[in-house]
Amino acid sequence: MHRRRGAGRLSDRFGRKPVLVVGWIIAAPVPFLLMWAPSWAWILFANALLGASQGLTRSTTVIMKIDLAGAKNRGLAMGLNEFAGYFAVAGVALATGWIAARYGLRPEPFYLGVGFVAIGLGLSVLCVRETHHHVAHESRLHGELLDFRIAFELPSLSPALE
């Protein structure tokens, strides 16, 4: 939860798109580190980078979906996001397992990671639009503040949920 709060605060301060792009940049060396790792320390470092990247990219995309869906459809947006995410993880696990069985453990399975980072970074830079302004517009229309704090922290502190 700490990373999500960090990504949320960064997104509120600097904008969603810049945080998303930084998350993808942090992910860029991960497949290469895993392909060429001469020691376990490289694997651990790659895992730390992947965790930081996931904390920024996944959390930011969740925040962006909530921005666009609004308070009324927040649950549906989260459900669709989780379904798509876990479905993709299962598909990639299947694909990398097949590649590893056919071509070996390194470097071939990690080529998918290189492709995903390139596509994710490219789409984030070229196609993704900032959604923070959408929240400001929605909050003016509905008279409520829809920022990260409201979306994640207050519901978890509510006595009704304890």
For position 77, which CATH number holds?
A: 1.20.1250.20
Q: Which is it for the CA torsion 56, 14, 115, 30, positive or negative? A: negative
Looking at the predicted structure, is the pLDDT value of residue 8 above 90?
no
Averaged confidence pLDDT in the chain: 86
For the ranges 20-24, 55-59, 67-71, the lowest mean pLDDT is seen at 67-71
Q: How many domains does the chain have?
A: 1
Average pLDDT over residues 53-57: 96
Closest of 18, 1, 53, 7 to residue 125, by C-alpha: 18
Give me the domain span that covers residue 82: 2-161
CA distance linking residue 27 with residue 47, whole number of Å: 10
CA distance linking residue 150 with residue 22, whole number of Å: 24
pLDDT, greater one: 117 or 13: 117
Do the beta carbons of residue 34 and residue 46 sit within 8 Å?
yes
